[in-house]
């Protein structure tokens, strides 16, 4: 209100200002005559041309740095300067330059946000990835980045603070490993010498309060309180790289069959250690991105290696701009190339796999690949002993002249269950618990820990050599 009270302008004042004597200017650079009344009124115009904050007082006006006596145009310059400034500053954010932002970057951010809304987080996937838990990952990353053993100790600090070339020999990991092994060997020699000096009389087994030895995994192991804890450093070796010459823990048959609108695949849950049915809860069907299922037979450790490869591909595809677009045919081509590459390096992956799903034309796809990289496709396939026992059953139920459109999903599942029952009867490396997966256009349906029903061993009495029959 105080500012508005000082603003007393009217049309009469405007007429008087226009009638006042104007300032005389000349084109030549000469001193300009400026009347006293004109200068006062010009100053009043300057005061009224901008927003007034409070009452105006002559003693409160800032003094000019250039007195009018020396610089007669200073008042006019000040007036022109104030009239050209905007009364309200423009604080709006300017628009983006042409060509920005990048369309690919926008699409990638939109894909990340959509995955986050689905509760799929990149950091959690990395934390749960078995590939990043591989102890040899650091060595592979160094090779990929072109960092050798010497460069890994480099730093941005000055040489007088840190110089890798001045490190002593014992400061590197090779010498530290040798020193560690020497200490372990010396302690082992002392322990053996002490055992030879004394004889301990102890009970044969350690029992709990109920008289039963506690943990089955310690059965047959030397006792730690007598022989000391097991020294795992003996497992570390600096010798040449060795390859698997034969599989140790293996899985047996995988069976699959096409039907109208999809593919069904099944495998039991047994992993045998040689001829011992050691592990009875090994799932050998791997679902890839709700579009395909891979069934593994053969070495379990190589199966886990291939599973890590598929997991890394799944992560990379899900976080790409276009999303995961790989189908079953793409996966089969990739895995066959991996198997052939390892075979060419004389370090094969001891697996025979079946890939079931759909191809790029949305048609049912089923194909196999073995440790040599050899591929084969058919309406029904089986690996392991199932290639000899299950394939004749499937050929009898689904002959070649029977079109795929006449085979229903229920018929395919029933045929797989019948084949698994025959394998349980005749294959010593099979189990009566299995997993079955059905791939359709609606997705993948997996049923785990299924049991073979209606078992009957009455047929065994007619087999020569069974029971009391020896002739």
Largest CA distance in the chain: 144
Q: Which two tokens stand for residue 275?
A: 């001829």
The DSSP code for 93 is P
433: helix, coil or strand?
Answer: strand
The answer to whether the CB of 302 falls within 8 A of the CB of 271 is no
Measured between alpha carbons, how far is residue 40 from residues 44, 60, 78, 96, 158 in Å? 6, 16, 14, 47, 69
Q: Where does 161-202 have alpha helices with state H?
A: 173-197
Q: Which of 155, 207, 244, 280 is catalytic?
A: 244
Contacts of 270 (CB under 8 A, 6+ apart): 251, 252, 277, 279, 280, 282, 429, 430, 431, 433
Radius of gyration over every alpha carbon of the chain, rounded to an integer in angstroms: 43
Extract the tokens encoding 110: 């939109």
Terminal-residue alpha carbon distance, the chain: 124
Spell out the residues 6+ positions from residue 419 whose beta carbon is closer than 8 angstroms to its own. 255, 266, 382, 386, 389, 390, 393, 394
CA proximity to 264, closest of 453, 413, 95, 434 = 413
Q: Which residues pair with 294 in a beta bridge?
A: 286, 355
Q: Which residues pair with 416 in a beta bridge?
A: none
Q: How far apart are CA 292 and CA 331, in angstroms?
A: 8
244 is catalytic: yes
Q: Nearest 5°: CA angle at 128, between 241 and 110? A: 120
d(CA 290, CA 67): 85
Angle at 241 between CA 185 and CA 349, to 5 degrees: 130
Contact 438, 410 (CB under 8 A): no
Distance set, CA 21 to CA 37, 42, 66, 68, 342 (Å): 8, 11, 24, 18, 102
CA 192-194-197 angle, 5° bins: 115
Residue 265's DSSP bridge partners are 256, 437
Residues designated as active site: 244
């Amino acid at each position: 209100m105080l500012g508005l009270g000082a603003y007393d302008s009217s049309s009469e004042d405007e007429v008087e200002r226009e009638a006042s004597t104007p300032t005389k200017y000349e084109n030549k650079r000469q001193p300009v005559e400026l009347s006293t009344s004109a200068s006062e009124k010009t100053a009043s115009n300057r005061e009224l041309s901008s927003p007034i904050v409070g009452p105006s007082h002559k003693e409160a006006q800032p003094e000019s740095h250039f007195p009018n006596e020396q610089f007669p145009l200073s008042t006019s310059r000040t007036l022109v300067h104030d009239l050209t400034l905007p009364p309200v500053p423009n604080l709006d954010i300017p628009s983006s330059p042409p060509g920005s932002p990048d369309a690919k970057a926008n699409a990638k951010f939109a894909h990340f946000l959509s995955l986050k809304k689905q509760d799929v987080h990149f950091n959690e996937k990395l934390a749960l990835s078995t590939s990043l838990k591989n102890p040899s990952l650091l060595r592979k990353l160094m090779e990929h980045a072109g960092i050798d053993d010497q460069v890994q100790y480099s730093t941005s600090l000055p040489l007088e603070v840190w110089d890798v070339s001045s490190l002593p020999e014992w400061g590197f990991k090779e010498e530290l490993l040798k020193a560690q092994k020497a200490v372990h060997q010396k302690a082992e020699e002392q322990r053996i010498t002490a055992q030879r000096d004394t004889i301990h009389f102890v009970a044969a087994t350690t029992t709990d309060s109920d008289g039963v030895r506690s943990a089955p995994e310690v059965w047959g192991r030397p006792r730690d309180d007598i022989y000391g804890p097991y020294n795992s450093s003996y497992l570390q070796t600096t010798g040449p790289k060795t390859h698997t010459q034969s599989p140790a823990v293996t899985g047996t048959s995988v069976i699959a069959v096409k039907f109208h609108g999809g593919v069904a695949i099944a495998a039991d849950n047994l992993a045998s250690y040689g001829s011992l049915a050691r592990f009875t809860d090994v799932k050998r069907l791997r679902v890839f991105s709700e579009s395909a299922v891979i069934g593994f037979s053969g070495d379990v450790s190589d199966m886990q290696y291939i599973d890590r490869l598929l997991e890394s591909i799944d992560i990379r595809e899900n976080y790409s701009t276009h999303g995961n677009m790989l189908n079953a045919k793409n996966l089969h081509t990739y895995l066959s190339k991996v198997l052939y590459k390892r075979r060419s390096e004389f370090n094969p992956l001891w697996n025979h796999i079946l890939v079931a799903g759909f191809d790029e034309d949305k048609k049912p796809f089923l194909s196999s690949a073995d440790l040599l990289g050899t591929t084969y496709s058919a309406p029904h396939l089986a690996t392991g002993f199932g290639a000899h026992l299950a394939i004749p059953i499937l050929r009898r139920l689904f002959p070649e002249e029977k079109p795929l459109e006449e085979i229903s999903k229920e018929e395919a599942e029933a045929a797989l269950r019948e084949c698994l029952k025959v394998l349980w009867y005749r294959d010593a490396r099979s189990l009566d618990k299995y997993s079955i997966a059905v791939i359709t256009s609606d997705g993948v349906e997996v049923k785990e820990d299924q049991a073979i029903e209606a078992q009957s061993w009455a047929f065994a009495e007619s087999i020569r050599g069974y029971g009391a029959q020896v002739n």
